[in-house]
């Protein structure tokens, strides 16, 4: 299988790469290089909020279970009601909670002999119902955040509703501009020294492209401001694997094609990576996930809430419920998921995990928001 890694602005096939814009290298090791070990869990067990939901439902099943299928307040990033592929750019369908086989299997539907060591062992995980935005956050939506920026988030906002200690920490404030400072200037206009940068100083034709070159802190702050939060790694993988269907890729088990995802800079038919290889969000509807999410495979990698810990994820095979790794490890790395428009097809699998320091910026790393589910009973 072809493994191409452009995450750090260069092409490589192994570990030990240097970041273009910030610090430490992060590339998963091949499965046979080291052994995963057990680790603790920081999450709290929780009961799914949808009565009877098992993870086998679809949107209709969720509606019939009594879930109020509307977001309480319109996300401020969608002021003016922007449309993405003729859909509300802030559409955020409910993902019905349930149990799934997190991680890559050895012989099951998501087995891959070329997989990475940090995807195993497969283990049982449960997530409560949550909303996940259909689309990655666009440049246009992020521009609304930049315009409205009024300082770092308040302590505790942007948390997972059932897991304590997952909200914004004032310890992170130094990673954001102070009140009155310009987020755009602070971030160097989000150019991250790349040729494929969707952000422009003024609104232009890139507004529907995924916003990239954002740090984990900026992604977190955006989510909190927008009435949401970053998804946990478990939630992200649950959506990408189609829950109990345990899909190899977000769309199923079919091998990737350019109809299903943007990857390997193939969108314009030329191997060179240019803006033409980064399509607008949602451009590959044939590759939708089980609950209608677009670009879970490809487009931009997506920051998640969790700190990276090679051992924690597999947990020695033990189950986890609404789990999230809230413990900042010495490695100081945050997870991003889902492959991207530059990298090879192997990175599109639902269990692939990449990671970088939270101050990292790359032109192929963006994010999408999770949101709370409100029940009618
Ligand atoms: Ca799995
Ligand atoms: Ca993506």
pLDDT in tens, 259-269: 999 999 998 88
Instruction: Tell me the CA–centroid distance for residue 233 and ligand 2, in Å.
Output: 13
> Which-ligand-closest: CA of 368?
2
Task: Tell me what pLDDT residue 375 has.
Answer: 60
Instruction: Tell me the CA–centroid distance for residue 124 and ligand 1, in Å.
Output: 9
User: Does residue 3 surpass a pLDDT of 70?
Assistant: no
Instruction: Tell me the CA–centroid distance for residue 19 and ligand 1, in Å.
Output: 29
Instruction: Tell me how far apart the alpha carbons of residues 233 and 238 are, in angstroms, rounded to a whole number.
Output: 8
Instruction: Tell me the CA–centroid distance for residue 341 and ligand 2, in Å.
Output: 8
Instruction: Tell me the CA–centroid distance for residue 259 and ligand 1, in Å.
Output: 24
Q: What is the DSSP letter of 83?
A: E
**Band (16; pLDDT cuts 50, 70, 90):** very low
| Structure tokens given for 343 | 């990298």
**Band (36; pLDDT cuts 50, 70, 90):** very low
> Which-ligand-closest: CA of 124?
1
Instruction: Tell me the CA–centroid distance for residue 341 and ligand 1, in Å.
Output: 23
Residue given tokens 């090879």 in the structure block:
344
Class at the top of the CATH hierarchy for domain 38-377: alpha beta
Mean pLDDT, the chain, integer: 83
Q: What is the pTM assigned to this prediction?
A: 0.84
Instruction: Tell me how far apart the alpha carbons of residues 82 and 174 are, in angstroms, rounded to a whole number.
Output: 32
CB 271 within 8 A of CB 2: no
Instruction: Tell me the CA–centroid distance for residue 299 and ligand 2, in Å.
Output: 5
User: Does residue 54 surpass a pLDDT of 90?
Assistant: no
Instruction: Tell me the CA–centroid distance for residue 24 and ligand 2, in Å.
Output: 22
CB 372 within 8 A of CB 161: yes
C-alpha dist (Å) from residue 32 to 28, 116, 120: 11, 8, 11
User: Does residue 20 surpass a pLDDT of 70?
Assistant: no
Domain ranges of the chain: 38-377
CB 50 within 8 A of CB 374: no
> Which-ligand-closest: CA of 351?
1
> Which-ligand-closest: CA of 102?
1
Give the residues across from 30 on adjacent strands: 116
User: Does residue 48 surpass a pLDDT of 60?
Assistant: no
Tell me how crowded residue 164 is: count the other CB atoms within 10 A of its CB. 12
Instruction: Tell me the CA–centroid distance for residue 286 and ligand 1, in Å.
Output: 22
CB 62 within 8 A of CB 51: no
Q: What is the DSSP letter of 137?
A: P
CA-nearest of 289, 179, 158 to 226 is 158
> Which-ligand-closest: CA of 366?
2
Q: Helix, strand or coil for residue 60?
A: helix
Instruction: Tell me the CA–centroid distance for residue 145 and ligand 2, in Å.
Output: 20
Residues near 197 by Cβ (< 8 Å), separated by ≥ 6?
190, 191, 212, 213, 363
> Which-ligand-closest: CA of 112?
1
Instruction: Specify the higher pLDDT residue, 186 or 346.
Output: 346
Instruction: Tell me the CA–centroid distance for residue 104 and ligand 1, in Å.
Output: 4
Q: Cis check for the bond before 149: say yes or no (omega within 30 of 0).
A: no
C-alpha dist (Å) from residue 197 to 135, 212, 257, 355: 18, 7, 24, 20
Instruction: Tell me the CA–centroid distance for residue 51 and ligand 2, in Å.
Output: 30
> Which-ligand-closest: CA of 281?
2
| Structure tokens given for 176 | 């954001």
Instruction: Tell me how far apart the alpha carbons of residues 82 and 113 are, in angstroms, rounded to a whole number.
Output: 42
Task: Tell me what pLDDT residue 213 has.
Answer: 95
189 CB-contact burial (10 Å; exposed 0-12 / middle 13-18 / buried 19+): middle
CA-nearest of 270, 290, 257, 287 to 100 is 290
Residues near 326 by Cβ (< 8 Å), separated by ≥ 6?
42, 163, 165, 166, 306, 307
Instruction: Tell me the CA–centroid distance for residue 329 and ligand 1, in Å.
Output: 24
Instruction: Tell me how far apart the alpha carbons of residues 364 and 338 are, in angstroms, rounded to a whole number.
Output: 11
Q: What is the pLDDT of residues 136-184, one digit of tens each?
A: 999 999 999 999 999 999 999 999 999 999 999 999 999 999 988 888 7
Q: What is the pLDDT of residues 287-341, one digit of tens each?
A: 999 999 999 999 999 999 999 988 888 777 788 899 999 887 777 999 999 999 9
């Amino acid at each position: 299988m072809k493994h191409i890694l452009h995450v750090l602005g260069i092409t490589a096939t192994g570990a030990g790469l240097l970041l273009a814009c910030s610090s430490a290298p992060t590339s998963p090791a091949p499965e046979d290089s080291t052994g995963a070990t057990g680790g603790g869990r920081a999450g709290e067990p929780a009961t799914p909020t949808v009565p009877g939901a098992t993870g086998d439902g679809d949107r209709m099943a969720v509606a019939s279970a009594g879930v109020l299928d509307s977001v309480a307040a319109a996300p401020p990033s969608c002021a003016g009601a922007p449309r993405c592929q003729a859909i509300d750019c802030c559409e955020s369908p409910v993902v019905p909670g349930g149990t799934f086989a997190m991680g890559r299997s050895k012989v099951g539907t998501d087995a891959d002999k070329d997989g990475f060591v940090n995807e195993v062992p497969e283990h049982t995980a449960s997530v409560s119902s949550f909303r996940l935005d259909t689309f990655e956050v666009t440049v246009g939506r992020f521009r609304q955040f930049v315009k409205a920026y009024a300082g770092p988030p308040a302590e505790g906002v942007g948390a997972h509703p059932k897991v304590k200690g997952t909200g914004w920490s004032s310890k992170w404030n130094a990673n954001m501009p102070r009140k009155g400072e310009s987020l755009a200037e602070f971030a160097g206009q989000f150019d991250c020294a790349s040729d494929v940068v969707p952000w422009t100083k003024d609104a232009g034709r890139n507004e529907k492209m995924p916003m990239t070159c954002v740090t984990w802190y900026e992604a977190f702050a955006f989510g909190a401001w927008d009435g949401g939060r970053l998804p946990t790694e478990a939630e992200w993988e649950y959506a990408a694997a189609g829950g109990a269907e345990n899909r190899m890729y977000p769309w199923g088990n079919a091998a990737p094609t350019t109809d299903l995802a943007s990857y390997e800079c193939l969108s314009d038919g030329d191997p060179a990576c240019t803006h033409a290889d980064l399509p607008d969000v949602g451009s590959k509807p044939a590759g939708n996930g089980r609950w209608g999410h677009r670009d879970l495979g490809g487009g931009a990698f997506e920051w998640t809430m969790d700190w990276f810990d090679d051992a924690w994820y597999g947990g020695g095979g033990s189950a986890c419920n609404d789990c999230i790794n809230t413990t900042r490890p010495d490695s100081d790395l945050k997870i991003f998921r889902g492959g991207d428009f530059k990298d090879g097809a192997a990175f599109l699998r639902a269990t692939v995990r990449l990671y970088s320091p939270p101050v990292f910026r790359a032109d192929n790393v963006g994010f999408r928001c999770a949101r709370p589910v409100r029940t009618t009973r």
